[in-house]
Amino acid sequence: MSPNPVTRDKFDAVLFDLDGVLTATAKVHAECWKKMFDAFLLRYGKRTGRELPPFDIATDYRLYVDGKPRLDGVRDFLKSRNIDLPEGNPDDGPDRDTVHGLGNYKNEMVNEAIDTTGVEVYSSSIEWARRIKNAGFKLAVVTSSRNCDAVLKSAGIGDLFEIRVDGNVIHERSLRGKPAPDSFLLAAKMVEVEPERAVVIEDAISGVQAGRTGGFGLVVGIGRHGSLEELKANGADIVVRDLGDLQA
């Protein structure tokens, strides 16, 4: 276990991503993205006569959707397959092949999964977060997910965070999603801490890019599935497999 780099003499706040950092919902999101996109690609291929490779969790999830606002994830993945769909309307149902329709369908599946199976947390990460909160750090959760409140409630960790900047806030304030730093910068402002006095903790490439671009004092990359070097190359100052690897 390495010496803890997150100390009160250097930092005043810690800004956490949610999925993949504190909770195991990243797996749920990845599976729902695959189910939604594979069904779409199959019917789109039949309609257009194109042979399209299915959504690959190991590569497509990490490169195109992980950490991003839902609609940006839809757009970026479709672009990777050279598919252009209309934006549609925010209330489009899962039967509509539009950006909103696909995004809404994926969201329905995530909510159903949360309601059915609940949310698994990374206990060592939660323990670490509680220790630094007791040490006087301000804590915020910064996620592109619009399911943030449901996930925190299901996981029983809503009391940890003074501030939540989620996909709903990003939409309401017309912020740019990750890899832009807007959501992290807003969270820092809301906890009244300058970026250089705040730590960003992320597991997504887009998230560590946002932390680096935003000028934050420390960007910690969580590589639970062998992505340590990739996170380091994209802006993480240090990388660990779990927050339990940091002393607090």
Q: Which of 9, 65, 4 is nearest to 201 (CA)?
A: 4
Q: Which of 19, 60, 92, 203 is catalytic?
A: 19
Distance between CA atoms of residues 4 and 31, nearest Å: 34
First to last CA, the chain: 11
Cβ atoms 114, 147 nearer than 8 A: yes
- 242 catalytic residue (yes or no): no
Distance between CA atoms of residues 97 and 108, nearest Å: 15
Helix ranges (H only) for the chain are 25-48, 70-80, 99-117, 123-134, 148-155, 167-172, 182-190, 205-213, 228-233
Q: In what order do the strands lie in the sheet with 238-240?
A: 163-165, 138-142, 13-16, 198-202, 218-222, 238-240
Pairing of strands 138-142, 198-202: unpaired
Cβ-based neighbours of 40, under 8 Å, separated by 6 or more:
97, 102
Please give the DSSP secondary-structure letter assigned to residue 194. Answer: -
- 245 catalytic residue (yes or no): no
Distance between CA atoms of residues 152 and 194, nearest Å: 26
Q: Which of 9, 12, 17, 92 is catalytic?
A: 17
The residues carrying an active-site annotation are 17, 19
